[in-house]
Amino acid sequence: MANTVDNSKLTDTHLDVLREIGNIGLGNAATSLAEMLNKRINMEVPKTKFVTMEEAMEVVGGLEEVAACVTLRVEGDVPSQILFVFNQASTLYLVDMLLGLDKGTTQDLDEMGESVVKEISNVLTGSFLSAIGTMTQMKMLPQVPMFAYDMLGAVVSTSLVAGGYIEDHILMIETVLFEEKEHIKGHFFLITEDKSLNTLFQALGLTLK
C-alpha cells in the first residue's frame, strides 16, 4: 500500500508534534540504555522530517553502506513498519559499549554482537512506540523483530518487500546518542499504511487537509 502523504499539507506544527514524540521516546530510550551500560548517555534533539526512500538511503550512507537494521511490523490502530538503522561504525561501537570493551575491539558482528544490537534496537523502538501510545491512547502492537546486517540497499528493500510496502514518504527521526566524546548515530524510520498517518495526526488533534 502506498502512503499518500502530501508534504505540502504538512505544517511546522505537524513536524513539531512528531519531533516531540521522538524526543520523549528516544529520551526514554537513552535513559534505558544508560541503565544497561551503567554510564551516562546523552542525546541530541532528534531531527524529524519526511523523506523518500532514495533520500532515506542517502542519509544513512548510500545503498552499499553496511548497516545493522532491525525491522518490525506494528499492528493496531496505526498499521506500519518500523526500521531502526545503525551504520557499521556505530553498530560495532555499540557492541563494544555494551560488552564493556575498548572502542575498536569489535571488528565484525558475531552472534553475541547481533544479540546486543537487537536488544538495544528493541529498547529504542519500544520507547518510541510507548511515547506514541501515551500521547495518543492508541494501540500500537509491535510484532517479532527481524534483524539483518548487510548492505543497506539489500536490507531495506528486502524488509519492505516482505511487508508489502512501496513508500514515497517515510517519517525519519535521526538522532545521535553520545557517551563523553563518542557518538552513535541512529536512524528511525516509520512507514505507515495508507491513511494510518492521518489517523495518528487526528489522535494528536491535527489533520492533513
The predicted-structure confidence for 103-140, as pLDDT tens digits, reads as follows 889 998 888 888 888 887 777 777 778 877 888 888 88
Nearest-angstrom CA–CA distance, 33 and 98: 9
For residue 21, the surrounding DSSP H or E stretch is helix 12-37
Q: 15-39: per-residue pLDDT in tens?
A: 787 777 777 877 777 787 778 777 7
In this predicted structure, what is the pLDDT of residue 105? 92
In this predicted structure, what is the pLDDT of residue 163? 55
From residue 95, alpha-carbon distances to 2, 89, 147 in Å are 36, 10, 15
Q: 153-189: per-residue pLDDT in tens?
A: 777 766 665 555 545 667 788 777 766 667 777 788 8
Nearest-angstrom CA–CA distance, 177 and 44: 7
Domains of the chain: 7-203 (3.40.1550.10)
User: What's the distance, Cα to Cα, between the start and end of the chain in Å?
Assistant: 21
In this predicted structure, what is the pLDDT of residue 73? 85
Nearest-angstrom CA–CA distance, 21 and 16: 9
Which of 7-11, 117-121, 148-152 has the weakest average pLDDT? 7-11
